[in-house]
Amino acid sequence: MDYQFTIIVPIYNEEDNILRLKNALSHYITIASKKTKVLFINDGSTDKSLDLITAICKDKTSFSFISFDKNYGLSAAIKAGFDIVDTALVGYMDSDLQTSPNDFNTLLKHIEDYDLVTGMRDNRQDSVTKKWSSKAANKFRRLFTNDGIDDTGCPLKVIKTAYAKNIPMFKGLHRFLPAMVLLQNGRIKQIPIAHFSRLAGQSKFGFWNRSIGPFIDCFVFLWIKKRYINYTIIKQKP
Protein backbone atom coordinates (compact mmCIF):
# COMPACT_ATOMS: atom_id res chain seq x y z
CA MET A 1 0.00 0.00 0.00
CA ASP A 2 1.14 3.55 -0.71
CA TYR A 3 1.27 4.94 2.83
CA GLN A 4 1.75 8.67 3.41
CA PHE A 5 1.90 8.91 7.20
CA THR A 6 3.46 6.78 9.95
CA ILE A 7 2.48 7.13 13.62
CA ILE A 8 5.28 6.20 16.03
CA VAL A 9 4.06 4.89 19.41
CA PRO A 10 6.77 4.24 22.03
CA ILE A 11 5.72 1.56 24.56
CA TYR A 12 7.22 0.86 27.97
CA ASN A 13 5.22 -1.37 30.34
CA GLU A 14 1.78 -0.34 29.07
CA GLU A 15 0.05 -3.75 28.96
CA ASP A 16 -3.14 -2.29 30.45
CA ASN A 17 -3.42 0.30 27.67
CA ILE A 18 -2.42 -1.63 24.56
CA LEU A 19 -5.81 -3.06 23.59
CA ARG A 20 -7.42 0.35 24.02
CA LEU A 21 -4.58 1.80 21.98
CA LYS A 22 -5.14 -0.77 19.22
CA ASN A 23 -8.83 0.12 19.04
CA ALA A 24 -8.19 3.87 19.00
CA LEU A 25 -5.54 3.62 16.29
CA SER A 26 -7.58 1.14 14.22
CA HIS A 27 -10.47 3.59 14.26
CA TYR A 28 -8.24 6.50 13.35
CA ILE A 29 -6.83 4.67 10.34
CA THR A 30 -10.37 4.43 8.94
CA ILE A 31 -10.89 8.21 9.18
CA ALA A 32 -7.32 9.44 8.61
CA SER A 33 -6.88 12.23 6.07
CA LYS A 34 -3.62 10.56 4.91
CA LYS A 35 -3.02 6.86 4.25
CA THR A 36 -1.69 5.84 7.67
CA LYS A 37 0.27 3.03 9.29
CA VAL A 38 1.46 2.50 12.88
CA LEU A 39 4.92 1.66 14.19
CA PHE A 40 5.15 0.52 17.81
CA ILE A 41 8.54 0.88 19.51
CA ASN A 42 8.76 -1.53 22.43
CA ASP A 43 11.28 0.15 24.71
CA GLY A 44 12.40 -2.91 26.67
CA SER A 45 9.08 -3.57 28.43
CA THR A 46 9.20 -6.13 31.25
CA ASP A 47 5.45 -6.81 31.34
CA LYS A 48 3.26 -8.40 28.62
CA SER A 49 3.46 -5.40 26.30
CA LEU A 50 5.64 -7.10 23.67
CA ASP A 51 3.38 -10.18 23.52
CA LEU A 52 0.32 -7.97 23.00
CA ILE A 53 2.06 -5.85 20.37
CA THR A 54 3.24 -8.94 18.50
CA ALA A 55 -0.29 -10.36 18.40
CA ILE A 56 -1.76 -7.07 17.20
CA CYS A 57 0.79 -6.64 14.42
CA LYS A 58 0.29 -10.22 13.24
CA ASP A 59 -3.40 -9.54 12.64
CA LYS A 60 -3.11 -6.04 11.15
CA THR A 61 -1.03 -5.29 8.06
CA SER A 62 -0.99 -1.56 8.81
CA PHE A 63 0.64 -2.20 12.24
CA SER A 64 4.32 -3.08 12.74
CA PHE A 65 6.83 -2.94 15.58
CA ILE A 66 10.45 -3.04 16.63
CA SER A 67 11.60 -4.12 20.08
CA PHE A 68 14.68 -2.96 22.01
CA ASP A 69 16.79 -5.37 24.06
CA LYS A 70 16.38 -3.10 27.12
CA ASN A 71 14.86 0.20 28.18
CA TYR A 72 16.65 3.10 26.47
CA GLY A 73 14.11 5.87 27.11
CA LEU A 74 11.57 7.90 25.18
CA SER A 75 14.02 9.91 23.10
CA ALA A 76 15.78 6.78 21.85
CA ALA A 77 12.44 5.22 20.90
CA ILE A 78 11.39 8.30 18.94
CA LYS A 79 14.75 8.55 17.17
CA ALA A 80 14.64 4.85 16.23
CA GLY A 81 11.21 5.44 14.72
CA PHE A 82 12.47 8.44 12.74
CA ASP A 83 15.33 6.34 11.39
CA ILE A 84 13.03 3.55 10.21
CA VAL A 85 9.99 5.31 8.74
CA ASP A 86 9.68 5.45 4.96
CA THR A 87 6.67 7.75 4.58
CA ALA A 88 6.78 11.46 3.74
CA LEU A 89 5.16 12.32 7.07
CA VAL A 90 5.78 10.95 10.54
CA GLY A 91 3.78 11.45 13.72
CA TYR A 92 4.34 10.65 17.36
CA MET A 93 1.97 9.94 20.24
CA ASP A 94 2.19 8.45 23.73
CA SER A 95 0.65 5.08 24.53
CA ASP A 96 -1.34 6.33 27.55
CA LEU A 97 -4.14 7.76 25.34
CA GLN A 98 -4.19 11.06 27.19
CA THR A 99 -4.28 12.45 23.66
CA SER A 100 -6.47 11.06 20.89
CA PRO A 101 -5.05 9.90 17.55
CA ASN A 102 -8.14 11.45 15.96
CA ASP A 103 -6.51 14.85 16.53
CA PHE A 104 -3.81 13.94 14.02
CA ASN A 105 -6.29 15.03 11.36
CA THR A 106 -6.37 18.48 12.98
CA LEU A 107 -2.59 18.72 12.79
CA LEU A 108 -2.39 17.29 9.27
CA LYS A 109 -4.57 20.14 7.99
CA HIS A 110 -1.58 22.45 8.47
CA ILE A 111 1.37 20.25 7.52
CA GLU A 112 1.48 21.41 3.89
CA ASP A 113 2.42 24.92 5.06
CA TYR A 114 4.65 23.89 7.97
CA ASP A 115 7.40 21.35 8.64
CA LEU A 116 6.30 20.45 12.17
CA VAL A 117 2.84 20.83 13.66
CA THR A 118 2.48 20.09 17.36
CA GLY A 119 -0.50 19.82 19.63
CA MET A 120 -1.04 22.09 22.62
CA ARG A 121 -3.01 20.37 25.39
CA ASP A 122 -6.23 22.29 26.04
CA ASN A 123 -7.75 21.99 29.54
CA ARG A 124 -5.00 19.63 30.61
CA GLN A 125 -6.20 16.70 32.75
CA ASP A 126 -3.17 16.20 35.02
CA SER A 127 -2.34 16.76 38.67
CA VAL A 128 -1.50 20.26 39.88
CA THR A 129 2.10 19.19 40.55
CA LYS A 130 2.53 17.74 37.06
CA LYS A 131 1.03 20.80 35.40
CA TRP A 132 3.15 23.17 37.50
CA SER A 133 6.43 21.37 36.84
CA SER A 134 5.71 21.13 33.10
CA LYS A 135 4.77 24.81 32.92
CA ALA A 136 7.98 25.84 34.69
CA ALA A 137 10.08 23.58 32.44
CA ASN A 138 8.41 24.94 29.30
CA LYS A 139 9.02 28.53 30.37
CA PHE A 140 12.68 27.88 31.09
CA ARG A 141 13.17 25.93 27.86
CA ARG A 142 11.66 28.78 25.78
CA LEU A 143 14.31 31.12 27.19
CA PHE A 144 16.97 28.86 25.68
CA THR A 145 15.33 27.86 22.41
CA ASN A 146 13.13 30.85 21.57
CA ASP A 147 10.89 28.43 19.66
CA GLY A 148 7.61 30.07 20.74
CA ILE A 149 6.06 26.71 21.68
CA ASP A 150 3.94 26.73 24.86
CA ASP A 151 3.63 22.97 25.35
CA THR A 152 6.58 21.19 23.80
CA GLY A 153 5.85 18.12 25.95
CA CYS A 154 2.53 17.53 24.21
CA PRO A 155 2.78 13.95 22.90
CA LEU A 156 1.06 14.57 19.57
CA LYS A 157 3.14 15.87 16.70
CA VAL A 158 3.38 15.63 12.90
CA ILE A 159 6.71 16.24 11.16
CA LYS A 160 7.88 16.08 7.59
CA THR A 161 10.14 13.03 7.61
CA ALA A 162 13.01 14.77 5.83
CA TYR A 163 13.31 17.09 8.84
CA ALA A 164 12.81 14.33 11.41
CA LYS A 165 15.64 12.25 9.99
CA ASN A 166 18.07 15.18 10.34
CA ILE A 167 17.46 15.63 14.08
CA PRO A 168 20.56 14.61 16.10
CA MET A 169 20.19 12.04 18.85
CA PHE A 170 20.45 12.92 22.54
CA LYS A 171 18.53 12.10 25.71
CA GLY A 172 15.73 14.60 26.21
CA LEU A 173 15.34 14.96 22.44
CA HIS A 174 11.54 14.73 22.65
CA ARG A 175 11.37 18.12 24.42
CA PHE A 176 13.24 19.90 21.63
CA LEU A 177 11.66 18.63 18.41
CA PRO A 178 10.24 22.06 17.41
CA ALA A 179 13.56 23.76 18.18
CA MET A 180 15.43 21.14 16.17
CA VAL A 181 13.21 21.79 13.16
CA LEU A 182 13.86 25.53 13.52
CA LEU A 183 17.61 24.80 13.42
CA GLN A 184 16.98 23.38 9.95
CA ASN A 185 15.22 26.62 8.94
CA GLY A 186 11.90 24.77 9.10
CA ARG A 187 8.51 26.23 9.97
CA ILE A 188 6.54 25.17 13.04
CA LYS A 189 3.01 25.65 14.35
CA GLN A 190 1.08 24.66 17.48
CA ILE A 191 -2.63 23.75 17.51
CA PRO A 192 -4.91 23.24 20.56
CA ILE A 193 -6.02 19.62 21.03
CA ALA A 194 -8.07 17.69 23.59
CA HIS A 195 -6.45 16.12 26.64
CA PHE A 196 -7.74 13.28 28.81
CA SER A 197 -6.98 11.69 32.17
CA ARG A 198 -4.82 8.58 32.25
CA LEU A 199 -7.15 5.60 32.77
CA ALA A 200 -4.58 2.80 33.17
CA GLY A 201 -0.90 2.21 33.71
CA GLN A 202 1.67 4.40 35.41
CA SER A 203 3.30 7.62 34.27
CA LYS A 204 6.99 7.14 33.46
CA PHE A 205 7.88 10.74 34.30
CA GLY A 206 8.41 12.08 37.79
CA PHE A 207 9.70 15.36 39.20
CA TRP A 208 13.23 14.78 37.87
CA ASN A 209 12.05 14.02 34.32
CA ARG A 210 9.80 17.07 34.14
CA SER A 211 11.94 19.69 35.87
CA ILE A 212 15.62 19.01 36.65
CA GLY A 213 16.16 16.85 33.57
CA PRO A 214 14.81 19.47 31.11
CA PHE A 215 16.95 22.13 32.83
CA ILE A 216 20.12 20.13 32.09
CA ASP A 217 18.93 19.28 28.56
CA CYS A 218 18.71 23.00 27.71
CA PHE A 219 22.48 23.28 27.98
CA VAL A 220 22.86 20.25 25.70
CA PHE A 221 20.64 22.01 23.17
CA LEU A 222 22.76 25.17 23.33
CA TRP A 223 25.88 23.11 22.65
CA ILE A 224 24.23 21.47 19.63
CA LYS A 225 22.84 24.79 18.36
CA LYS A 226 26.30 26.39 18.29
CA ARG A 227 27.76 23.43 16.39
CA TYR A 228 24.82 22.42 14.20
CA ILE A 229 25.71 22.12 10.51
CA ASN A 230 23.04 23.36 8.13
CA TYR A 231 23.55 23.98 4.42
CA THR A 232 21.64 24.49 1.18
CA ILE A 233 22.84 23.15 -2.19
CA ILE A 234 22.08 25.59 -5.01
CA LYS A 235 23.81 23.80 -7.90
CA GLN A 236 24.87 20.23 -8.62
CA LYS A 237 26.24 18.33 -11.58
CA PRO A 238 24.04 15.25 -12.19
Cα 62 from Cα 17, distance rounded (Å): 19
Q: For position 237, what pLDDT does the model report?
A: 73
Q: Is the pLDDT of residue 232 over 80?
A: no
Q: What integer is the mean pLDDT of 44-63?
A: 95
Q: Strands (DSSP E) along 59-213, which ranges?
A: 63-67, 89-93, 116-122, 156-160, 188-194
Question: What are the C-alpha distances in Å from 100 to residues 68, 77, 154, 231?
Answer: 25, 20, 12, 37
Q: For position 126, what pLDDT does the model report?
A: 52
Q: What integer is the mean pLDDT of 35-61?
A: 96
CATH of domain 5-126+151-204: 3.90.550.10
Rounded to 5, what percent of the chain is helix, strand, coil?
40, 20, 40
Express each pLDDT in 119-172 by its tens digit.
987 765 555 555 555 665 666 566 666 676 777 778 899 999 999 999 887 777
Express each pLDDT in 206-228 by its tens digit.
555 555 666 677 767 777 777 77
Is residue 10 within 8 A of residue 77, CB to CB? The reply is: yes
Express each pLDDT in 162-208 by its tens digit.
999 998 877 777 788 898 899 899 999 999 998 765 556 455 555 55
Q: In the structure, what pLDDT confidence band is assigned to residue 25 with cuts at 50, 70 and 90?
A: very high
Q: For position 8, what pLDDT does the model report?
A: 98
Express each pLDDT in 65-118 by its tens digit.
999 999 999 999 999 999 999 999 999 999 988 899 999 999 999 999 999 999
Domain boundaries, the chain: 5-126+151-204
Q: For position 187, what pLDDT does the model report?
A: 96
Across all residues in the chain, what is the average pLDDT? 84
Q: For position 20, what pLDDT does the model report?
A: 94
Q: Is the pLDDT of residue 37 over 60?
A: yes
Q: For position 33, what pLDDT does the model report?
A: 97
Cα 104 from Cα 98, distance rounded (Å): 13
